[in-house]
Amino acid sequence: MAFFVFFPVWVLLLGASCIDADKMSLFVNEGDSVTLHTDVKTNQHEKIKWFFDDTRIAQISGDLSKICTDVGCNEETERFRDRLKLDDQTGSLTITDIRTTDSGKYKLQIISSNSMSEKIFSFTVHDVPDAETDKMKTKSVKEGDSVTLDSGVIKNPKDLIMWYYNDTHISEIARDPSKICTGDECEDADGRFRDRLKLNNQTGSLTITDTRTTDSGDYHLEIITNSSSIRRQYSIDIISEKSLSGTGSNGIVFFLAMAGACLGVLLVVAGVTGECRRKLASVKSFFYPKTNQTAVL
């Protein structure tokens, strides 16, 4: 199951008339994680609290003496059981395995000794057919072919898009369009994808050319905005030419074996039919013996 998520964000600073708005919309698939950023450091504030539809779902104190999520903060937060994570450095909130029931308003309170600020995140989750989700997230291709991992978004100029292979950074489109890296150009790259990666600068989708069996594995995409980030998982299985040829040979052997078995059955049936005819002939001769006739001249 996959979902379409709209993230309108309003920021309200109490005691001030400043309102900042940041909106984005993108596809979020079942199993994705969404992180809502505070843009602060926990040690600079007394408390950071998160609310979902006015129910407290997470809290962290500046000295880390008080940290809680979902049922640990409020027994009425069963909907998020084991799906909320707090960053103890920033107080940012991550919601994992996103669901339609997660739609609603999320309020962030940042409390200091002499001030309090609030930020409100709101998103609506819409169903997308499972078939589309599977097609986008899981790929099986023949060795040597190209494969594209679809980001599912139209890139906002303010977004940072990063791709990872087994947690190794392999590709990135920065907020500055001139800063695009693929393969060895990215930090921590291991040379595995040298000259075989292409990024769509409109969507951030990643194409791997001339695929190899060593490209099989788990990939993940991170879409980072000013106020939130999305993490999406993908899986690729590269099928080798040997496997394909082996499957073909096995198919031929299986076909010949089946043909031989069918021929054997036909021969047995034919043999049984001939034996039955001989026995019927002997019974008939017993009851109806032939009479020797002498010609009368």
List, for the chain, all residue ranges whose pLDDT scores fall below the cut of 70. Answer: 1-29, 126-136, 177-178, 187-189, 243-297
Q: What pLDDT does residue 153 have?
A: 79
Q: What pLDDT does residue 28 have?
A: 67
- Domain total in the chain: 2
> What CATH number should be reported for the domain holding residue 201?
2.60.40.10
Q: What pLDDT does residue 226 have?
A: 80
Question: What confidence tens digit (pLDDT) does each residue in 233-247 have?
Answer: 899 999 987 766 655
Q: What pLDDT does residue 268 have?
A: 47
Q: What pLDDT does residue 64 have?
A: 85
For residue 221, tell me if it sits in a domain.
Answer: yes
Tell me, yes or no, whether 101 and 189 share the same domain: no
Q: What pLDDT does residue 216 have?
A: 95
Tell me, yes or no, whether 154 and 60 share the same domain: no
Q: What pLDDT does residue 211 have?
A: 96
Using the 3D structure, point to which of 97, 126, 155 is the last residue of a domain.
Answer: 126
Tell me, yes or no, whether 120 and 36 share the same domain: yes
The neighbouring-strand residues paired with 109 are: 49, 118
Tell me, yes or no, whether 60 and 122 share the same domain: yes
pTM of this structure: 0.68
For residue 14, tell me if it sits in a domain.
Answer: no
Tell me, yes or no, whether 141 and 208 share the same domain: yes
Determine the structural domain holding residue 94 and report its residue range: 27-126
For residue 296, tell me if it sits in a domain.
Answer: no
Tell me, yes or no, whether 142 and 191 share the same domain: yes
